[in-house]
Amino acid sequence: MIIVISSGHGKYIRGASGYLDEVDEARRVVARVGDLLNAGGNPTKTYNDDISRTQSENLNRVVSYHNSQTRDLDISVHFNAYKTTSSPMGTECLYVTQQSLSAKVSSAIAGAGSLINRGAKKRTDLYFLNNTAKPAILIEVCFVDSSADANLYRTNFEPICLSIVQAVTGQSAVVPPEPPVTTPPPTTKPTIKKGSTGPAVRELQAGLNSDTAPAWWSTATLARSPTPQRATTRLRAI
């Protein structure tokens, strides 16, 4: 399945804000869901509007992007707002034609995020749903002005993104591998003492006489640092 997924509103056309900022979080969800979809073999394009300065320009630009792509499904990601509350509010998914898919997505997000399932809601007044040419859904992940929702969303961000992928594709999500952790190679340089001779000493002398020391020299210097603990503490304090 080929998918286009975009975030609601834009860089200059901000959405709702409260305990969460709608635009910032919608962009996070779009990016992660896009990565997961691509990793699972569902070619996906993501879109965020960084240009528009008015709401109508924003709606037009987002929908034009979707309609310019070859795809099977259009997804828009939003966050809801009502009033500031500590009570849980929940997740919902809006549709014009995609009742069944919307119900699946809403239920999946609710399960993954421990959010209230508000379910699939038919909305015939939304520009995105009315003007995208392919089957479309609009996800309202949770309420930005509910502290309970915001906490559940933050805690369950990854399961929520995985659940969207599973509900949309009907497949288990493939989690992209973490980037490899790079560890410096063990140094094989000999210890240089007073009176030492040989290639390592010549290399060291050449390094000290030039602007750039050999690569291993800085490593060796760091490794000899007598206060690694203090270095860690300083980093944390920034």
The residues that touch Zn ion, with contacts defined as CB under 5 A, are 8, 15, 78
- Closer CB to Zn ion, residue 25 or residue 167? 25
**Measured CA distances, 22 to 67, 77, 133, 197 (Å):** 24, 9, 25, 65
CB of 59 to Zn ion, least distance (A): 11
Could you give the CA distance from residue 107 to residue 109 in angstroms, rounded to a whole number? 6
- Closer CB to Zn ion, residue 27 or residue 78? 78
Strand, helix or coil for residue 139 = strand
Residue nearest to Zn ion (CB): 78
Could you give the CA distance from residue 67 to residue 144 in angstroms, rounded to a whole number? 29
CB of 44 to Zn ion, least distance (A): 21
Could you give the CA distance from residue 209 to residue 155 in angstroms, rounded to a whole number? 54
- Closer CB to Zn ion, residue 8 or residue 34? 8
Helices (H), 40-193: 55-68, 99-113, 127-131, 147-155, 157-169
CB of 181 to Zn ion, least distance (A): 37
CB of 22 to Zn ion, least distance (A): 5
Residue 69 CA to its chain's centroid (Å): 22
CB of 74 to Zn ion, least distance (A): 15
**Measured CA distances, 69 to 72, 78, 181, 203 (Å):** 10, 21, 36, 57
Start-to-end CA span in the chain (Å): 45
Q: Hey, what are 123's tokens? A: 């909305």
- Closer CB to Zn ion, residue 49 or residue 204? 49
Q: Are 119 and 103 in contact (CB under 8 A)?
A: yes
Interacting residues of 189 by C-beta distance below 8 A, sequence separation 6+:
200, 216, 220
- Closer CB to Zn ion, residue 94 or residue 173? 94
CB of 124 to Zn ion, least distance (A): 17
- Closer CB to Zn ion, residue 55 or residue 233? 55
